[in-house]
Amino acid sequence: MTEFFYQILLFFYNNLAFQNLGLAIIEISVITRIVTHPLTKQQLVQARKMREIQPKINALKVKHKGDNQALSQAQLALFKEHGVNPAGGCLPAIIPLVILIGLSGAVQHAFASNGDINAQFLIWDLSKPDTINVTGIPFALPGLLVIATAASQYFYSKLVMPTPPKVRKEDKPAEKEEKQDFMASFAEAQSSMMWMFPLLFLYIGTQWAAALPLYWTVTSVVSIAQHWQINRTSPKTS
């Protein structure tokens, strides 16, 4: 896989990026998001439908409490009625990670085997980790690019996080209790998920060559723009 991504990286570097590694990585990231846009749109539409029918799902849980088989059948019928596929939409999330892994090996191979690669992009040497060394601190601090990676991942996680069902005045007592229990557990899980990946990238970003935080930052920013555009233009389900 390393050789495959290395050849792709070289193609962009030599033919489309004016022998600028940073520009080549940006182009790979943007083109990947454009190519996978139909899958991303499908994923977001499915997620929106799931949010919109969540009150009905909660009502079914109350109605069929203690009967998992009846609940499962009722949920499947509800999903079919509204055209929802709960298992769909995983591919757009996996593709950027696969490319990140492939680029990791490709970048290392490029710097090890090709001394002519221009690693300078703006203020960064993309062959080295983007870190800041401060006197008196025994470890390297994340640089601007790594911080941008963590920040963009945080905002992306916040954007795609599902909205919990709201408690309404007309809800029955059992429905209100279930929604309140769900919202309590949801808030805890949401907080953990929103911070886990940004903090992970903040740490491992200091171990990577700066080329990889650059790729992930651009991927996250383009993904945020795609989500905003799709959510703004896609019609709601009835």
State the Cα angle at 219 between 20 and 233, rounded to 5°: 130
Report how far residue 224's alpha carbon sits from residue 155's, in angstroms, rounded to the nearest whole number.
8
Number of residues written out for the chain: 238
DSSP type of residue 13: I
Q: What is the pLDDT of residues 168-220, one digit of tens each?
A: 666 666 666 666 665 555 556 666 777 888 999 999 999 999 999 999 999 99
Report how far residue 162's alpha carbon sits from residue 231's, in angstroms, rounded to the nearest whole number.
13
User: Please, what is the average pLDDT of the chain?
Assistant: 85
Q: Which two tokens stand for residue 61?
A: 């849980």
- Exposed e or buried b per residue across 42-51, where buried means at least 16 C-beta atoms within 10 angstroms of its C-beta: bbbbbbbbbe
What separation in angstroms does the CA of 219 have from each of 28, 48, 93, 150, 191?
A: 9, 22, 11, 12, 23
pLDDT of the residue at 74: 92
Note the pTM of the prediction, 2 decimals. 0.81
Q: Beta 124-125 vs 131-132: how paired, if at all?
A: unpaired
Among all chains, which residue has been given the structure tokens 């009835």?
Answer: 238
E strand segments, the chain: 120-121, 124-125, 131-132, 141-142
Task: Give the H/E segment covering residue 174.
Answer: helix 173-204
Backbone angles phi, psi at 124, to 5 degrees: -110, 145
Q: What is the pLDDT of residues 27-81, one digit of tens each?
A: 999 999 999 888 888 888 887 787 778 778 877 887 888 888 998 999 999 988 9
